[in-house]
Structures are given as C-alpha cells and as structure tokens.
Amino acid sequence: MSLNNYEWDLENEWLQKVLNEAKRQLDEKRDAKDKLKKDAIETQRELWNDLGSVSIENGLDQLSDFVSFMDIMRNQKRSHEFTKKLETKYEKMIVSPYFGRIDFVEDNESSTEKCYIGLSNLIDEDYDFLVYDWRAPISSMFYDYETGQASYECPEGVISGEITSKRQYKINNGKIEYMFDSNLSIDDEILQELLSKNSDDKMKGIVTTIQKEQNQVIRNENYKNLIVQGAAGSGKTSVALHRIAYLLYRHKYTIKPENIIIFSPNNIFNDYISNVLPQLGEDNMYQTTFKDYMHKELSNEFKKETTSEMMEYILNSSEKLAYQHRIKNIKFKTSLEFMNILKQYVNHLETMDRGFEDIIIRGKLIISSKNIQKLFFNDYSNLPVKRRLKKLKSRILFLIEPYKKAWIDEIYQELDESGDFIDKQEMIEKSTLIVNENLKHINFKISQMTEFNLVKIYRNLFKNLNKLSNKINVKYDNNFIYHIKTYTIDNLNARRLYYEDQVALLYLKGALGDIPNTSQIKYVIIDEAQDYTPLQYEIFYQLFKSANMTILGDINQSINPFMNVGNYNNIYNISKNDTCIINLTKSYRSTMEITKFSRNLLTENISDEYVERHGDEPSVIGFYDENSMNKKLIEDIKSYKQKDYKSIGIITKTARETRDVYNLLRANDIDVVSIEKDDDDYTNGVLVIPSYLAKGLEFDVVFIYDASNKNYNSEDERLLLYTCCTRALHVLNIYYFGEITSLLKHNKDI
C-alpha cells in the first residue's frame, strides 16, 4: 500500500524538524569544539610563558605547576575527543536520522507515542525524544513485533500496549528516498534488495533489518553465557558485533570497549569486521585470536606452530609417513580424556610431596621442612601452585634476610679489623660477596624447591601418563602410551611446540596460576566457536572467570577435522546453570540456489530457512587438464569484473595453491591480491585465499579452485568444502580437472 500525499507531507515536515534540531546541535558542538581548540592553544601559550623550560633546579613549585597544566591539557583533550564524537554523530544524523518508526499506545493510556528509531538518540531542548537510539528499550519492539499487542522491558519493568503502525524509511542526504508500512510483512523484500547488492567493502552493519531472533540474541542479558548456533550466513558475526554495540550503550557508565574482548579466527577476519562498530558510532573492542593470545603467553624459546601451519600440514601431508603419528597425537591431545588427565595432573601437582627440606644457615634452623609444607599445603592452599611457590620463596628469603644481614656485618667487622681496606664501600661489597658466595647452595636449594618450569612440568606429565590415565579409569594400550610419550618428548627436545601441545601448555599455565589478571574483561565474544576444542573452552572459562561469554558458531563449519568443539554439550556442561543455547534459524548471505547446493554437501539435513533470493544455479565444471581449467578461470574472472562484481574470491585448498593461482592471474594481467598468512590484510577486489582462511568472509563471486578427487580426497574435508561454498553471495563456480571429488558427486547430479 503506497502512502498518500498527506502522509508524505507529514513525514517530510517531521524530517525537517529532526534535521533542524540535529543541525542546531551540530552547530553547538562545532562551536564547543572551536572553543576547546582555542582554550588548548591558550593553555599551551600560558604553559610556555609561565614555565618556559621545566627543570628540577627551578624548584618543586614549578614542577607542581607543570603537573597542573598537564592535567588541564589532558582534560581538554578528553573533552575535545568527546565533542568530536558527538560532531560525527550529528553529521551522520543529518544524512540519515532514522530508519524506522512505531506508533505505540501504552495500556491504559489514550495518547499514541510516535517513536522514530535511528542510529542514536536525538533529544530536543524540551527533553522530548525526536529519535530513539535503536538500542533503547522501546526500540526493541521495532524488531520484535508487527502491528498489534506488544511489550518491551525497561528498568521500570515490562511496558505493554499496542503498536498501531510500523513504518520503515530509506533516508539519504536528508531526503526520504522511500518509506512503507511494514505491517504488510514486507521485510523479506527489503532484505532481498539489500542482500542482492554487491559487497563493496568490509562487513557492514545490519541495524535497519535486524530480525527478531537476532534481536533476541543481541539484547539477551538473562544468562551469563550464551551459546549461539546458526547455519552459514545466519548473521552470527553481525549479531555478535551488534550485541557489543548494545552492551556499550546499555551499560555506558560501567562498560567501555576495553572491557570487551573478541576472539576471532584470524587477523584477516578482524580487519574484515573492523568497520561495523565505528559505523554504529562505537569504538572497536579489543580484537585478538586464540593463537596470538597463546603465543604471547608461551615461551619464545620454542618454535610455535600457527593455526595456518597446522591446517597446511593436515591438508598437505596425508601421504607422508609421519602423518598418522601426528594425527594420533592431535586426536589424543584434543580428547576429553586428555582434558581429564590434565585436570588430574593439576590436582596431583597441588597435592604431591615436593621434597621440601629444612633451611639451615650456619647451624641455625631458619625454617623447617614441616613448616614449609604447612605454608604450601595449608596457609597458601587457596592459591594456585605457581603463586604458592612464589609466595613461599619470598617468605623463606624474608626469613633469611636478618641472618644474612648479621653475617654481612660480622664479615665487614673482620675486614675492618684486618686493616687491609680503607674504603667503606669496598668493604660492604666484599662482605656481601663473601656471604652470597656462602649462601649459594642455600639459594640453589630454595630455587629448586620453588622452581616453576612449565615445559618441565609438561614433560613430566608424559613420563607419568600411564599412572594419570589409570587415575581417570582410562586404559590405554602400552604401545600407545609409549608412542605419545616419545613423540611429545622428542618434539620438546627439538624445541618444537605443535599447536595441540601449546593449548595443553596454556591450560596448565592457567590452572597453575601463571596467567596475568584479566579481571578488567567483562564480556568475551568467541566467534567461529566450532573451531575450538573443549580444552580451549576450559581455558576461556579459566582466564575470564567472572566475564560473560557469548559463543557463536556453526558445527557444520568445523574446518579442522581434529580440533573442534564436537558437540555444544561439551561446553554447555562447563557452566550449565548460567548458560543458554540459542539457535539462529535463517540464512541471509547466499542466493537460494547456492544455499541449497551447499547444504546438499552435508550428510545431515539442515531445515533452517533462508531468504528467498534467486540467482543462477552454481556451476560445477570439469576440465580435461589444468591448463584448460586455468584458461576458463582467467576468462571468467575478467568477465565477472566487467559485470561490476566488487569482490571475487578464488578459494584454493592450500596456501601453496593460492601462490600458484596468484602468479597465474598476475601473469595474465589480472589485478589480484593473495592472502596466505593469517595476519595479511583483508582487501576487496579479486582475492585468492586458502580454504581455511576464507571462513567468516564473503564474496559476490566464489570460485572453488580444483575440486577434483585428487585435491579433495578425504571425508574429513567435507565441512571445509561446505564452508568454502557458503562464502558466495551471488555466484558460485566450482572447477576441477580430472575426476570430481566424491564429496560433490551427489551435487553434480542435481
């Protein structure tokens, strides 16, 4: 139903009112900013005139004046940044102040409130809301309800009433491009139009079209931890980022971006999502990857394998003799049994006899082994092992100190009496040296008793693997135990830390109390959650004990067949009383044809919905040889570029293939970028990328490069191939030479 002229006039009038108010407030902010700038220049001038050069010789008064000036300047800087942020907010508002409206009549009230909803609040001088921030409590009804009975939660409780009208707008450059009443359930059409566009840059916000089920994740504060399962393209990353924006708004006095950390799969992805929060008017939170976090915590004396290196090994090496050994190790070290062994081991380290000895200096008992034991097992028992040992060492050294001092004084006296020295300082140094020399063996003993060497601790675990597995009632074959033990110790001797060993080490480090305090983190977001093992989740919970967690993933996109969560129950059980599992049930990214095709690759049916947007059927084309395949690829890329597709992703299985395809395209005058490592920058255009780095990203056009049986030859690669296909928004082309992979045989026939 199109809106009549009368409605248009009213809407234009309202828009004008909003724009005028936004302009007035913008001018106010600009004036304030100018004034702040002038004040800052004036302060600097005063600083220069009053203090000139600051020197300690000019007395403490001058220093104190200087410190006051610095305080003033710091405050001016803060105010300037704040005003600049507001200026940006009003500038954005003038372009597009709102995108939605609901007319709401509260129960037992007769007046209707017209609530316009935009990226941020606009409040006039009479404290009336001209526009509500999309995160305001009342705005939630825009996402949750059509016209009719509705309610929302606010600090005062639940407010109920009726939505009498719901309208959506597209406003650009201060003009209404279109508007419509959405009680006609037209959302899907809007979505289709939005989703059919080519992706011209990094990820974008979805604030105007957030869906009800997504809104319920964004605003969910009923549980400490949320686990969100959603099929490919169901908006998990978008929801995660909008949830962050929501939390920053709702708790603006208690939560700052530095209180939030997001773990994402790699740095390319971090770069890809980096525009969303600034678009929503918020600063980015702390973004990291598990690998980066772990590598910072673990010793640099070892060569540490990266996630990409691990994936390359898994995808490239199945023919190698050592492959089966490595896989056996990965499987064992990512198993729930190994996690229990680690827990058992920590328990053992906390309670085992540590062979503490008496500390005696010159016949005087400083502290008995019994008392040391009492300190370790009783007084410090609430601390983890590493902190207990540290405290113990300080305590013993503290007790030794007076005896050491007395001894130094005695020797000083002797030296003085000997008449061999005239310099006091020299005698102090000499006597200290003599005592230190005499105490060497005691210091060595104390260091040994309180030693904390993580790698040594890890090594000892494997020496005791048999006993530990017996303790958890798991019986392994002796050959198996021997194999795991020698494999691990050989690698440690070669100063090589495989990814699975790093995770185990990090767990031990945390459980034994050797991880810096992270209490400033209040929210942890884990995206691509399927790719972390239960042990990694134990680490997350251990590191961020008091933080709230939002965990978003898709079990069907477990790209590493040996390192994944397996089943959400494995993490749900860690903290089941305050955890909720939510499903996102609709996919938005791809055309129906691509979605259906991709889902066919899975062994289990996915009944999730998708947006009804049509496109060409994916094409699966076989070639006799590699040259013909490459020739067609080059032709097609050129042709898609001409058709104005903005992002074209050529997804190869491995990084080696990425390099080859990149060289091929370059040699054929195609402007192309390759991503081979997980800290390369994300760029739009034509991009060649290995399969495992493409997760989380999306492209207008996707080419799966060489889906032959030779290349994708294992059932373990099914989910990887599925993940690659689901990266396509509009076009999916799958090329191979020789025989097609058996993973796609079924799809080829459809």
43 is known to lie in a ligand binding site: no
Q: Which of residues 249-308 bind ligand ATP (CB under 6 A)?
A: none
Residue 302 corresponds to which tokens in the numbers above? 């070892």
Among residues 230, 384, 534, 690, which is the contact residue for ligand ATP, using CB under 6 A?
A: 230
Least gap, CB of 723 to ligand ATP (angstroms): 7
236 is known to lie in a ligand binding site: yes
Please say whether the beta carbons of 106 and 138 come within 8 A: no
- Told to check if 194 binds ligand ATP by CB under 6 A, we report yes
Q: At residue 49, what is the residue type?
A: N
Please say whether the beta carbons of 707 and 735 come within 8 A: yes
Q: State how far the Cα of 113 lies from the Cα of 734, in Å rounded to an integer.
A: 53
Q: Measured from the CB atom, is 212 or 748 closer to ligand ATP?
A: 212
79 is known to lie in a ligand binding site: no
- Told to check if 209 binds ligand ATP by CB under 6 A, we report yes
Q: Which 8-state DSSP code applies to residue 452?
A: -
Residue 431 corresponds to which tokens in the numbers above? 């006597």
Please say whether the beta carbons of 94 and 174 come within 8 A: yes
- Told to check if 696 binds ligand ATP by CB under 6 A, we report yes
Residue 572: closest CA among 557, 551, 593, 589: 551
- Told to check if 118 binds ligand ATP by CB under 6 A, we report no
- Told to check if 678 binds ligand ATP by CB under 6 A, we report no
- Told to check if 510 binds ligand ATP by CB under 6 A, we report no
Cβ atoms within 10 A of the Cβ of 128, count? Answer: 9
- Told to check if 334 binds ligand ATP by CB under 6 A, we report no
Q: Given the rule CB under 6 A, which of 23-31, 177-185, 206-214, 615-623 is the region that contacts ligand ATP?
A: 206-214
Q: Given the rule CB under 6 A, which of 147-155, 231-239, 388-396, 706-714 is the region that contacts ligand ATP?
A: 231-239
Least gap, CB of 207 to ligand ATP (angstroms): 9
Among residues 214, 270, 502, 558, which is the contact residue for ligand ATP, using CB under 6 A?
A: 214
- Told to check if 243 binds ligand ATP by CB under 6 A, we report no
237 is known to lie in a ligand binding site: yes
Q: Is 185 helix (H, G, I), strand (E, B) or coil?
A: coil
- Told to check if 650 binds ligand ATP by CB under 6 A, we report no
Please say whether the beta carbons of 729 and 590 come within 8 A: yes
Length of the chain as a residue count: 750
- Told to check if 718 binds ligand ATP by CB under 6 A, we report no
- Told to check if 233 binds ligand ATP by CB under 6 A, we report yes
Least gap, CB of 705 to ligand ATP (angstroms): 20
- Told to check if 747 binds ligand ATP by CB under 6 A, we report no
Among residues 218, 232, 439, 524, which is the contact residue for ligand ATP, using CB under 6 A?
A: 232
Among residues 144, 213, 538, 554, which is the contact residue for ligand ATP, using CB under 6 A?
A: 554
Please say whether the beta carbons of 188 and 203 come within 8 A: no
Q: State how far the Cα of 723 lies from the Cα of 589, in Å rounded to an integer.
A: 13
Cβ atoms within 10 A of the Cβ of 221, count? Answer: 13
Q: State how far the Cα of 480 lies from the Cα of 741, in Å rounded to an integer.
A: 34
Q: State how far the Cα of 379 lies from the Cα of 260, in Å rounded to an integer.
A: 35
Please say whether the beta carbons of 702 and 681 come within 8 A: no
Q: Measured from the CB atom, is 122 or 687 closer to ligand ATP?
A: 687
- The DSSP string of 68-95 is HHHHHHHHHHHHHHHHHHHHHHHHHHHH
- Told to check if 29 binds ligand ATP by CB under 6 A, we report no
Q: State how far the Cα of 136 lies from the Cα of 121, in Å rounded to an integer.
A: 8
707 is known to lie in a ligand binding site: no
Among residues 538, 678, 698, 700, which is the contact residue for ligand ATP, using CB under 6 A?
A: 698
Least gap, CB of 440 to ligand ATP (angstroms): 59
Among residues 152, 249, 568, 588, which is the contact residue for ligand ATP, using CB under 6 A?
A: 588
Q: At residue 572, what is the residue type?
A: Y
- Told to check if 590 binds ligand ATP by CB under 6 A, we report no
Q: Given the rule CB under 6 A, which of 116-124, 209-217, 662-670, 711-719 is the region that contacts ligand ATP?
A: 209-217
Q: Measured from the CB atom, is 191 or 539 closer to ligand ATP?
A: 191
Least gap, CB of 203 to ligand ATP (angstroms): 7
- Told to check if 539 binds ligand ATP by CB under 6 A, we report no
Among residues 96, 139, 229, 238, which is the contact residue for ligand ATP, using CB under 6 A?
A: 238
Least gap, CB of 137 to ligand ATP (angstroms): 20
The two beta strands, 225-230 and 175-181, are: unpaired
Among residues 25, 83, 215, 237, which is the contact residue for ligand ATP, using CB under 6 A?
A: 237
Residue 444 corresponds to which tokens in the numbers above? 């060595």
**Closest CB to ligand ATP: residue number:** 235
Q: How far is CA 642 from CA 15, 637, 639, 684, 732, in A?
A: 39, 9, 5, 15, 17
Least gap, CB of 194 to ligand ATP (angstroms): 5
231 is known to lie in a ligand binding site: yes
Residue 674: closest CA among 653, 651, 695: 651
Q: At what angle do helices 336-351 and 534-543 cross, to 10 degrees?
A: 40
Q: How many residues interact with ligand ATP (rule CB under 6 A)?
A: 24
- The DSSP string of 363-413 is TEEEE-HHHHHHIIIIITTTS-HHHHHHHHHHHHHHHHHHHHHHHHHHHHH
Among residues 26, 119, 171, 191, which is the contact residue for ligand ATP, using CB under 6 A?
A: 191
Q: Given the rule CB under 6 A, which of 207-215, 376-384, 623-631, 675-683 is the region that contacts ligand ATP?
A: 207-215
- Report the phi/psi class of residue 525: left, alpha or beta, with left for phi > 0 and alpha for psi in -120 to 50: beta
235 is known to lie in a ligand binding site: yes
- Told to check if 100 binds ligand ATP by CB under 6 A, we report no
Q: Which 8-state DSSP code applies to residue 740?
A: B
Q: Cα 461 from chain centroid?
A: 31
Which residues have CB under 8 Å from 113's CB, separation 6+?
103, 104, 105, 106
- Told to check if 144 binds ligand ATP by CB under 6 A, we report no
667 is known to lie in a ligand binding site: no
Q: Cα 111 from chain centroid?
A: 45
Supply angle C-alpha 225, 227, 230, rounded to 5.
155
Least gap, CB of 276 to ligand ATP (angstroms): 9
Among residues 83, 450, 726, 747, which is the contact residue for ligand ATP, using CB under 6 A?
A: 726
Residues near ligand ATP, by CB under 6 A: 191, 194-195, 204, 206, 209-211, 214, 230, 232-238, 554, 557, 588-589, 696, 698, 726
Q: Which residues are part of a known binding site for ATP?
A: 230-237
Q: Which residues are part of a known binding site?
A: 230-237
